[in-house]
Amino acid sequence: MRILVLTKSVPDLVEELVLDEDSGELLHDEMTYVPSEWDDHAVEEALLIKEDSNADVTVLAVDTGDVDNMLFTALAKGADRAIKLQGDFDLSTSNRKRAQAIAHYVKENPYDLILSGVQAIDDIDGQIPAMVAGLLGMPHASVVTDVRLDGDRVHFHQEYGGGLQAELASQTPVVLGIQAARKPPRYASIAKVRQMMKSSVLEEVEVAVEEVPELEIRRFFKPVAAGHAEMIDGDAEEVAERIVSILKERNLVRG
């Protein structure tokens, strides 16, 4: 079983996002980038599958600059190989174009199971796994947890409305958007990451991407705050009383 995990880096929200005041563009160079949290979960799920079944795990990132650390960290956690897709990409490259590049690569280099974080905070559109599946004509599921291999089939869970969980099965190859891994993503010690940087190489694969239909971002802006929080002053008794009356006013308590 060959597993491919799609990873990307996203702006780190610990720092404030910087917008160009005139053009409303996000200033990518002013931001720091960190691995997408959902992709961390996809990597973890792949490594757990590997522990269960001896699968071979490859992590992939579109080279938008500064993805090396993310890939070496995945290797330190236990991934077998890391691929950097190179071409005409930068931090503003759209998901549509990234999906096209990944699809080109997978066409030449087949995998049985392709995992990706279900979405990423930079666009929250969850398109990468769906588009990769679409471009490759593979089955796809989104918001997936608990991925297990059963012979040459893949079983996994998906959350439905009304508090239902469904267990689904698929033939391979299949593309899944991972909501959460079975366990919290593991820690890679810095010594191990640094050792990986010295002892392993990231495989660089050149991909050319034709023109793809894309959306244009006209501007970014921060939403105008509609209301403000009420700060409750006073001693414990007064604060408690106010909280109780708010809960009653808004019908949040029964009886």
Partner 1 sequence: MQKAKSIELEVAVVNGIELPGHWNRMFEPRVISEYDLSVLDQVTSIPGAESLGYCYQCGKCTAVCPVETVGDYSPRKIFRKTQLGVSLMDSPDLWLCTTCRNCLRVCPKEVNMIDIMPAVREQAVLEGKAPAELLTAFENTARYGNPLGEPPRKRTEWVKSAEVPVPVMSQVKAPVDVLWFVECYPSYHPRGKDASVALARLFNALGVEFGILGTEEKCSGDSQRMAGEKGLFEMLAEHNIKMLSKYQFNQIVVTDPHAFNAFLHEYPKYGGQWPVQHYTQFLAPLIDQMHLTRPLNKKVTFHDPCYLGRHNGEYEAPRDLLKAIPGLDLVEMGHCRETAYCCGGGGGGMWLDSFTRDYTSQRLSEKRVLEAVEYGADILAVTCPYEVSRFEDAVKSTGNGGRLEVKDIAELLAYSAELI
Residues 12, 37: contact at Cβ < 8 Å? no
186 binds partner 1 per the rule CB under 8 A: yes
In the complex, the smallest distance separating the C-beta of residue 216 from partner 1, rounded to whole angstroms, is: 30
236 binds partner 1 per the rule CB under 8 A: no
Residues 146, 152: contact at Cβ < 8 Å? no
User: Which of 19, 91, 193, 205 touches partner 1 by CB under 8 A?
Assistant: 193
Stretch that binds partner 1, among 84-92, 134-142, 190-198, 203-211 (CB under 8 A): 190-198
For residues 177 and 185, which CB has a smaller minimum distance to partner 1 in the complex? 185
CA 71/CA 63 separation, integer angstroms: 11
168 binds partner 1 per the rule CB under 8 A: no
Binders in 1-20 for partner 1, by CB under 8 A = 12, 14-16
For residues 4 and 71, which CB has a smaller minimum distance to partner 1 in the complex? 71
In the complex, the smallest distance separating the C-beta of residue 189 from partner 1, rounded to whole angstroms, is: 5
Q: Which residue spans within 151-202 are E strands per DSSP?
A: 153-159, 165-171, 174-180
29 binds partner 1 per the rule CB under 8 A: no
Residues 62, 97: contact at Cβ < 8 Å? no
Residues 26, 18: contact at Cβ < 8 Å? yes
157 binds partner 1 per the rule CB under 8 A: no
191 binds partner 1 per the rule CB under 8 A: yes
In the chain, the largest separation of any two C-alpha atoms, in whole Å, equals: 69
- Residue (of 62, 41, 37) closest to 176 by Cα position: 41
- Residue (of 123, 126, 162) closest to 142 by Cα position: 126
For residues 143 and 197, which CB has a smaller minimum distance to partner 1 in the complex? 197
For residues 1 and 34, which CB has a smaller minimum distance to partner 1 in the complex? 34
What secondary structure does DSSP assign to 20-47, as a single string? -TTT--B-GGGS-EEE-HHHHHHHHHHH
192 binds partner 1 per the rule CB under 8 A: yes
For residues 51 and 90, which CB has a smaller minimum distance to partner 1 in the complex? 51
At 100, the amino acid letter reads Q
Stretch that binds partner 1, among 45-53, 90-98, 185-193, 243-251 (CB under 8 A): 185-193
187 binds partner 1 per the rule CB under 8 A: yes
Residues 175, 136: contact at Cβ < 8 Å? yes
User: Which of 24, 65, 110, 184 touches partner 1 by CB under 8 A?
Assistant: 184
